[in-house]
A = this chain, B = another copy of it.
Amino acid sequence: MEANAPIVKFHSVAKRYGDGALVLDGIDLSVETGDFVTLIGPSGCGKSTVLKLVSGLSPWTTGEVTVAGQAPRQARDRQSCIFQDATLLPWLTAQANVELPMRLRGENTAVRRARAAEMLSLVRLNDARDFYPRQLSGGMKMRVSIARALSVAPELLLLDEPFGALDEMTRNHLNEELLALRARAPFTAIFVTHSVSEAVFLSNRIFVMAARPGRFQAEVRVEFPCPRRPELREQPEFQAKVNEVSRLLHQVEGVEVR
């Protein structure tokens, strides 16, 4: 896995929507190729906004954001995103929804079929392949969305609370699958979650964010070797890291709570 070329770079970025209050302020971030960066912080602190800036869906107010040295919008073909909502097209079946990004890239039908089937079985939805979104449960929708994002093997993956609607086992299973995928086809990830242990299990860098305005309060480096095995979760070093992050988070939120 090559490293060290910064793929995402924020240079003292601030962001406000319209003429509202500052949502992000003084954000500096440099994500190296191969990093698995996690953003964690209280609800509404601006995590999704950071991802929106990276993907060029919303303009920043001051500072500068680059992705692979380019403006974010120019670098979209390197990225794939799992949004906080499932955002499935209601007129397509689960299978067709998963195929969508490949279709947009002009992949041929056979490849699309095969890859979508593979991804659907990864998220354990083989049986729901022909269901329309309105026939899927909340968690199933989210899993289709995950399958869709993973289907294109991106260079940079943005994940906005992808596993929040899933039960623990499915969640752990998908955590592991994510790492397995990463071992096969390395990608850089920016990950948003509310689960500290998930953050520690998956990432090598965790940013703890504070709110009003959203800012990076602390960075925690997680140095466990890759590939990580499920057993890691049981080890005391792991628990220690989890506790460290939790403590930071409590500090941040303690400020937040009046």
Residues of chain A touching chain B, judged by Cβ–Cβ distance below 8 Å, are 17, 20, 40-44, 46-48, 84-85, 124, 128, 135-140, 143, 160-161, 164-171, 173, 194-196, 246, 249-250, 253, 257
Residues of B within 8 A of A164 (CB): 164-165
Do residues A42 and B135 form an inter-chain contact, with CB atoms below 8 A? no
Do residues B44 and A173 form an inter-chain contact, with CB atoms below 8 A? no
Which listed residue (B40, B46, B85, B166) contacts A43, Cβ 8 A? B166
**Top 10 A-B pairs, shortest CB-CB distance:** A43-B139, A84-B138, A169-B253, A167-B194, A44-B137, A164-B164, A44-B140, A42-B167, A43-B166, A164-B165
Q: Shortest beta-carbon distance, A207 to chain B, in Å?
A: 14
Chosen A-B contacts, 29 in total, with CB atoms closer than 8 Å, are A17-B135, A20-B135, A43-B137, A43-B139, A43-B140, A43-B143, A43-B165, A43-B167, A43-B170, A44-B128, A44-B136, A44-B139, A46-B137, A48-B137, A84-B138, A84-B165, A85-B138, A161-B165, A164-B164, A165-B194, A167-B194, A167-B249, A167-B253, A168-B194, A168-B196, A168-B246, A168-B249, A169-B249, A173-B257
Which partner residue on chain B sits nearest A140 by CB separation?
B44
Q: Shortest beta-carbon distance, A209 to chain B, in Å?
A: 10
Q: Name, among A48, A85, A169, the residue most crowded by chain B CB atoms within 10 Å (CB to CB).
A: A169
Residues of B within 8 A of A137 (CB): 43-44, 46-48
Residues of B within 8 A of A46 (CB): 137
Q: Shortest beta-carbon distance, A104 to chain B, in Å?
A: 25
Residues of B within 8 A of A165 (CB): 43, 84, 161, 164, 194
Residues of B within 8 A of A138 (CB): 43, 48, 84-85, 160-161
CA of A41 to CA of B139 in the docked complex: distance in angstroms?
11
CA of A90 to CA of B137 in the docked complex: distance in angstroms?
22
CA of A138 to CA of B45 in the docked complex: distance in angstroms?
11
CA of A40 to CA of B166 in the docked complex: distance in angstroms?
11
Q: Shortest beta-carbon distance, A161 to chain B, in Å?
A: 6
Q: Shortest beta-carbon distance, A163 to chain B, in Å?
A: 9
Q: Shortest beta-carbon distance, A7 to chain B, in Å?
A: 25
Which partner residue on chain B sits nearest A134 by CB separation?
B17
CA of A48 to CA of B134 in the docked complex: distance in angstroms?
13
